[in-house]
Chains A and B, each alone.
Chain A
Amino acid sequence: MYRMVLRMAWASLIRRTTRSMMVVLMICVSLWGLLLMQGIYDGMTEQMISNAIRSDSGHLSLFGHGYRLDPALDKRIQGGGLNSTKLATLLDHDSGVASWVGRLNQEGLIATAHYSRNTIITGIDPKREEIHGNLQNYLIQGKYGFGQSGKGAIIGFKLAERLQVDIGSKIILSAQDLNSEVTSIALHVSGILKTNNMGLDESGVFIDINIARKFLGVVHGLTQVSIMMLDDKHISDMQSSLQDILPDLEILRWDEMYPALMQSRVMMRGFSLVVSLMIFGVAGLGIFGVILVSVLERIREFGIMLAIGTEFGQIRTVVLAESLCLGVSGFMAGSLCGGLSLWYFKIHGLDLTLFSDAFEEFGMDAVTYAIIRPEYFVTAFTAVIIATLISGYFPLRILRKRKPIEIINEV
């Protein structure tokens, strides 16, 4: 029976090829555009989040109590050296932790012979940062590392532009040490990086953590510990369990450190949902029109079928099958085009370097790698099915209210 129903539905669709093709094309093109939009926009947002996580916050960041409000060295995480603290042991033995790094941050002033700016000085262990957030991949000039003497510094590209410094240029860092004395150190620029994390690019200076310890007079302790998790679904659980073990520390998730990025993600999802609703609402209207006309122009045919004993359920199945055929064909064509385009942009990226300075203004990468999420297709499929079923329902209601004899006698 289902074969016959499908054949009838197919025959009806083929009879009006142009309009059937138009509906399929409509769903295909709209879905194609929608999938591209979702994948590219999500890619942009996720890249911004990833840049912030990799270059700064990790999935979780640990700070001394009160340090976030008042970033002073005496509010750092106190304890032994990097690997000998309770914290280090704890993190090294946690199977959920992919990597962690300790940093020593201090606000200060960076100066050349002619110009000075405020800066955030961050003492890091370059080898650990390499494993932790692939910091070396952000390098656009120079070498990753601080040289044999450790007297190198890696600085943000915007800061380098403003100070007019290049690789090898001498810079003077001034900051307050642990004893509240203003201290200075001369270093040379060994690398320039572009993270698209606006704070770092505009005012970040990375120096060797051992040099930072001497410079700031901090023998033990860290101002920030950044943790990368193996599975980002466990971030909140890890946060609460660490908070239980280390009640004296402030433990923040990346979205608590960068609320604007989380808002961007939420806003982007809401925006996608609204656009999807509008597109599928409009597409549903298109399918509805075609099915309505298709039913009305065959109303005598349906009247005769009802008069010779065909059950209404069978006619309903034929109409719904027609509607579904249109919807599913459009969905498949749109998903194929959209999926292939997204796959292309996932591999090669969407290169908008033409607008690179505009992207920098927003702290975004000029090359966006698309994201493909199964939920795009599942949501689209559900929406198409709902739209097609609703589109078929109303013409069927009209048909149901009519009596076969009236329909047959209609001129």
Chain B
Amino acid sequence: MMLLNIAFRNVITHRKRSIITMLLGAVSTALLVFSSAWMDGSHQQMIKNGVEIYSGYIQITGAKFRENPSFDHLLFDVETLQSHVEAVQGVQLFSPRFESFVLYSVGEKAVGGMLTGIDPEKERSISRLHASLTAGNYLTQNDTNKLYIGQELALRLNVGVGDEVVFIGNGADYSFAADRLVVKGIFQTGLYEFDASSAFLAKPYFDMIMASDNMATHGIVLPENLEKSETLAAAIEEVVGVEYQTASWQQTMAALLKSMKLDSVFGYITLAIIFTAIFFVIMIYTLLVVYARLREIGIMRAIGTTPGQILTILILESSILGFLSVCAGGLLGAVFAYYFYLHPMVFSGMEEQFKQYGLAASAIPTAFEPVTIVRDMLIMFILLLLSTLYPILKVNRYQPIEAIHHV
């Protein structure tokens, strides 16, 4: 307790060093906390976009469909599969989709794109298709040749609600399929590529024209608990057997997840460069202060204070400074992270770049996760303590008489 008192008094006595060390420590901590919140926030947003707009939390396909996405590896008995999947505990619903690439044609213009048969009601829960409606109406299960089309694709075909679009493609049995469709609604998810190449039909009618009754290219499962997608996917795979492949979003978006990690690595490398400079500055200031007190330390040693006690006092000083600066910085970083979590940052003018990275909106919220904040504060505390170790150990090596006579 006495040592803590001495350390505390020393912190107050050497005000300038304390203020500078604390400022640097606090700024570094705030920077780390906020950068982590920003990186995690933007990554979560990208994943959320990727998963929730269309691709879904869990996908079930035919066993070989991923390696060879041909109509030979479809889900062939969807109804039975659906009953098995929906019986698994933790499954909220299952919705089949049938994707086919076709050539759309309007007047003299033809554009390649994806035509997908969906269950309009279930899609409301598993994707943002319904919420992305910009003109006309969303599909219903009883719709016949009514097309729900992406805004960019509609622009490329120069069609609006009520206009006719012809398509030519292959049915599930590889037969030639073609039909006249009428645009019922237009959607815009914000994912440019998706909006520029996708259109949807109600599955019952789609099945009729594409000969795909009771078939699907894949099915989407909505888990009751989104956090447990991975374990639920494994449970479903056990139930449905080897005929099918069940993949959680962590598997279907593995490349995206890896790219997020890579982005974080680069972010932390940049922070590490800044922190290196800060680490050295704190080390220099600690060195200056302990050397300025070398005589005092020599006298303390001469009157019987042990090197261990001196070491404890100096480390306690660094710990007090480190603790205070990490608390202040952590709080500051957390306040900013929380503010931008509630009020996402808007980057107007950067839409093109956002499109490239698959961000559907130019507003990005930060992540506010207390556990991550505490982790960053702990890392900074250890770093701050480490930066003071060398000067402390160096000064403690002096003999009392040497220290007293040090100029």
Contact = CB atoms under 8 A, between A and B. Distances in A.
Nearest to A203: B112
B258 A355 contact: yes
B101 A37 contact: no
A137 interface: no
A264 B280 CA distance: 32
Given A114-B68, A357-B258, A29 B110 contact: no
B70 interface: yes
B284 A19 contact: yes
Given A30-B273, A182-B105, A362-B259, A263 B350 contact: yes
Contacts of B278: 282
A289 interface: yes
Contacts of B353: 259-260, 263-264, 267
A49 B93 CA distance: 45
Contact of A162 (B69, B107, B288): B69
A164 B113 CA distance: 19
Q: Which 3 A-B pairs have the closest CB atoms?
A: A118-B112, A114-B70, A26-B280
A109 interface: yes
A60 to B, nearest CB: 19
Contacts of B174: 113-114
Instruction: Categorize the interface residue count of chain B.
Output: 35 or more
A259 B352 contact: yes
A307 interface: no
Interface residues of A, number: 59
A114 B68 CA distance: 9
B314 interface: no
B201 to A, nearest CB: 17
Interface string A105-117: 0011101111111
A11 B169 CA distance: 85
B285 interface: yes
A36 B24 CA distance: 24
Contacts of A355: 258-259, 261-262
Contact of A22 (B70, B169, B283, B350): B283
Interface string A158-194: 0000101000000000111000101000000000000
Which of A37, A180, A286 has the most C-beta atoms of chain B within 10 angstroms of its own C-beta? A286
A174 B103 CA distance: 8
Nearest to B68: A164
B325 to A, nearest CB: 14
Contacts of A352: 262
B356 interface: yes
A286 B281 contact: yes
A164 B70 CA distance: 9
A18 B394 contact: yes
A217 interface: no
30 contacts: A19-B291, A22-B284, A26-B277, A30-B280, A33-B272, A33-B273, A37-B273, A72-B108, A111-B101, A113-B174, A117-B101, A174-B103, A176-B105, A180-B109, A260-B352, A263-B352, A279-B274, A279-B277, A286-B280, A286-B285, A289-B20, A289-B281, A289-B285, A293-B292, A357-B255, A359-B259, A361-B256, A361-B258, A362-B259, A362-B356
Interface in A58-76: 70, 72
B158 interface: yes
